[in-house]
Structure 1
């Protein structure tokens, strides 16, 4: 195949140009304008919740969520090590420190180790959970639904309630994923914990070029988030500010893109699922590689596809395969570097990191754009088959 197959790129074949043109024509291109409110309303309607707050990025939404969850200077926050670093950095914005958890075979946080850490390494007091090693309070945990694969929220919420922890759902990769069984049947990723955050970066399932959305169980906290995201204006005419706020509001231009993209979301998920099933059927025939499953009790959005490589059986290491695929104009990427090994976080506590170390060397993400043609996916599979040794 002569053309380059990218990993994950936007699909802008809906009404994006029409809506953005309207914004330009009205000249409401900044943080005022009707499309921001419409995007917030439409996302809330899709998620079956009351309201959301549109932000400049998913990171901004996570910062606000952690702040509103009660994280204070000197606290600790439980986070996964296997994630994108934006899930962790906002902890430091607030002067708190992350405590890192391992992953399980779904790549999500290992809830056995989370529960073990809370039970054996901490003490539950009237003031909340205290880390025995550091003496610091732990008020919040961040759960990331990796690649759109929803974590076991029933068990996570049970643990959080037992140990008095607020739950921030980093659903930046999981818009459209929902539970199909149990007590959260029909609930979307991001709407079960105390806060949920979505991202509309260029590689996400829908995009605004950059942007995010914050949702919360408590309506009053959503109102507070909007207040903080718009520089905490108590009097907009005379510029009175009673708190320190942030310039975190999404622009009308971004929101116009978002409205058009959201109209296509279910169609995008359908394409993602079809291409995933095509990959899985073909790759299951190749010894030494496999596609990781999505949890069976969810309707996952199938955002990214994870190729697991057994070097001994397949004959190529992760990096060797990455380079060979690139030579064939197929863009892939390894999973993120583990956050507890990154320079800013090497001195932070990391609880029994084992499986994350295993997966870091064996996972490649393969092309998954919603514009990926069936013949392109088949070509990827053909190359994978040819490279098998």
Structure 2
């Protein structure tokens, strides 16, 4: 069989653990098919145990979780919200939903996450002109936590809250705390390509019970506790369904195994390709343990003999999916008029980076196949 006809290798497909169907069966038997039900409650409680957050609200997406977090903090028209530039757009669009103005902070090379020193510069700038930022939202890029404690050192003297976009970092740790822990709120994603999935879904976590209770209420159309439908505020249809939560409960049973396998996959690529001239990999910051959601490789085209786009196209010709690094938000046409601090690091990582297949069900033969094709692209 030719490589073109070989089974497709996807970037990061769902990987079921075995118990998901049993939880779904229980949901069907209970007839809790519509949103809410015991599976949602169980999923929230079990994620609280994993994350260390006291309270969780299971929602329809990570973007919904960020939207609610910003709404809870009173973000509105004309406010400044500071966010990572090197991220997926779903980290940033909730800012615009509320009429606020996103301001972008470049990455550092140590972690590829929000550069705290540039953040400090941005905070001081906006305070000096009388526009204190309303919230700061760093992204945990590719499963690596941002430097929460350093960011909090910058924000706390000014009373600026921290909301972590932990969509990609379930199972990662920062100084032995689960990803997101230490922030006022953290948003997580369980989309189909994440390290664990509910097919589609997200979650908002906090130690503040009132905030999570209000998030739940807003996520259910902000209906007043009356027998008829009465609304004093605008809410959203953002709650996770009982069936989706059933899948999530099965996935939570294997999340730590998934992290270990993701890290093994990264180590395999790094061992096989890390010594190849012109190839290098995303570093692991000394303050935490990355979940290695995706293995990301940097390519020096001049030294290696091919750039990341050539590698991506060659892999695709062999039925293997890969992807460029996120295009930074400060480079996106839709945000061309927004202010950013720095930008060269994110632009460089976008230019030189490629995300390699990282599915936890990949076999050793799959990994070898990817490696050999990449090696064949070079000089």
Query: What's the TM-score, normalizing by structure 1?
Result: 0.93
- Could you tell me how far 1:332 is from its partner in structure 2? 0.4
Measure, in 1, the Cα distance between the counterparts of 2:218 and 2:367.
44
Deviation above 4 Å: which 4+ runs of structure 1? Answer: none
Asked if 1:238 is matched to 2:218, the reply is: no
1:90 to 94, 117, 120: 94
Task: Give yes or no for contact 2:43–2:246 (8 Å, CA) kept in 1.
Answer: yes
CA RMSD of aligned residues (A): 1.5
1:277 to 264, 267, 279: 267
Measure, in 2, the Cα distance between the counterparts of 1:84 and 1:345.
13
Asked if 1:32 is matched to 2:22, the reply is: no
Task: Give yes or no for contact 1:191–1:217 (8 Å, CA) kept in 2.
Answer: no
What's the counterpart of residue 156 of structure 1? Answer: 151
What's the counterpart of residue 217 of structure 2? Answer: 227
Query: Within 5 A, what are the aligned runs for 1:338-349?
Result: 338-349=328-339
2:295 to 269, 280, 305: 305
What's the counterpart of residue 51 of structure 1? Answer: 55
Asked if 1:111 is matched to 2:116, the reply is: yes
Query: Within 5 A, what are the aligned runs for 1:164-183?
Result: 164-180=159-175
Task: Give yes or no for contact 1:193–1:217 (8 Å, CA) kept in 2.
Answer: no
Query: Within 5 A, what are the aligned runs for 1:210-225?
Result: 210-225=200-215
What's the counterpart of residue 71 of structure 2? Answer: 67
Query: For residues 160-212 of structure 1, what are the alpha-carbon distances to aligned partners after superposition, in whole Å with 9 as ceiling and x for unaligned?
Result: 113321111000000111123xxxxx321112111100000000011011100
Query: For residues 50-95 of structure 1, what are the alpha-carbon distances to aligned partners after superposition, in whole Å with 9 as ceiling and x for unaligned?
Result: 2200000000000001111231221010011110000000001111
What's the counterpart of residue 18 of structure 1? Answer: 22
Query: What's the TM-score, normalizing by structure 2?
Result: 0.95
Question: Does 135-144 or 326-335 show the bigger shift?
Answer: 135-144
Q: 1:55 to 1:319 in 2, by over 3 A?
A: same
Query: For residues 259-284 of structure 1, what are the alpha-carbon distances to aligned partners after superposition, in whole Å with 9 as ceiling and x for unaligned?
Result: 00001101111111111111111112
Report how many residues are paired: 374
| Counterpart secondary structure, 1:319 | helix
1:375 to 324, 345, 365: 365
- Could you tell me how far 1:39 is from its partner in structure 2? 0.3
What's the counterpart of residue 135 of structure 2? Answer: 140
Q: Gapped runs of 5+ residues in structure 2? A: none
What's the counterpart of residue 127 of structure 1? Answer: none
Q: Gapped runs of 5+ residues in structure 1? A: 125-131, 181-185
What's the counterpart of residue 316 of structure 2? Answer: 326
Question: Does 42-51 or 361-370 show the bigger shift?
Answer: 42-51
Task: Give yes or no for contact 2:126–2:132 (8 Å, CA) kept in 1.
Answer: no
Query: For residues 102-145 of structure 1, what are the alpha-carbon distances to aligned partners after superposition, in whole Å with 9 as ceiling and x for unaligned?
Result: 111122111111112223x2336xxxxxxx3xx54411010100
Measure, in 1, the Cα distance between the counterparts of 2:53 and 2:328.
34
- Could you tell me how far 1:241 is from its partner in structure 2? 2.5
- Could you tell me how far 1:351 is from its partner in structure 2? 1.8
What's the counterpart of residue 129 of structure 1? Answer: none
Task: Give yes or no for contact 1:81–1:103 (8 Å, CA) kept in 2.
Answer: yes
Asked if 1:358 is matched to 2:343, the reply is: no
